Amino acid sequence: MIDFDKVFPLVYPSPQQDPKSLKFLADLLNEFEPKTILEIGTGCGALTTMLALSGAKVVSVDQRDNPMQYWEHLIHEGKIKAEDVDITFHKANSQIQETADLVKGIYDWVLIDADHSWAGGLKDWDLYSKMANVVGIHDIAGYDDKTKNNDKYDWFPTRKWHQLKRTYNITRETPNLPAGGWGFIFK
């Protein structure tokens, strides 16, 4: 279980996540209690830290130089203990088969928040979505209403989310956000 009131000050302000999205994720973490999470797109590492503080083992992939600095700084400052987080970070291109082979496994959740272009996001979806029965996509809301019916639009999260909502019966999304947010499908 994650105590959002204690964790929130550690992970916000994060440049990639808004407070409503973080609260939504914390509620889902508490409801479903995933034990293993594959995160595609580490960003600054704030969300990675929150996921790990929920008790999940997190495997994260990003091309950035050192997103581990975020949770390492929290450990160094004494705000969290090293034994409280189980994070494996891979500096790698998420869109190649070799990386998918490196992290291959069955996870409780897969979170996709890396390349937001249609081609890049679709490649991440194709490589990783089959590794879990619960898949989340970040930045699903508010980028362009024409996304719903425009196959040429290049913003992967919004466009793919609209497709998934038509395909899967069970979906959840961050409520009432003008932009950003998370969408989850349950296969």
Query: Tokens representing 123?
Result: 């490649």
At residue 24, the pLDDT reads 94
DSSP characters for 23-68? HHHHHHHHHH--SEEEEE--TTSHHHHHHHHTT-EEEEEESSS-TT
Looking at residue 143, its pLDDT comes to 66
How confident is the model at residue 44, as a pLDDT? 85
Question: Which residue would you say has higher pLDDT here, 136 or 67?
Answer: 136
The tens digit of pLDDT for each residue in 144-153 reads: 555 454 455 6
Task: Name the range with the highest mean pLDDT among 80-89, 155-164, 169-178.
Answer: 80-89
- The architecture of the domain spanning 4-186 is 3-Layer(aba) Sandwich (3.40)
Residue pLDDT, tens place only, 7-28: 998 888 766 788 899 999 999 9
Higher pLDDT, 149 or 160: 160
What are the structural domain ranges in the chain?
4-186
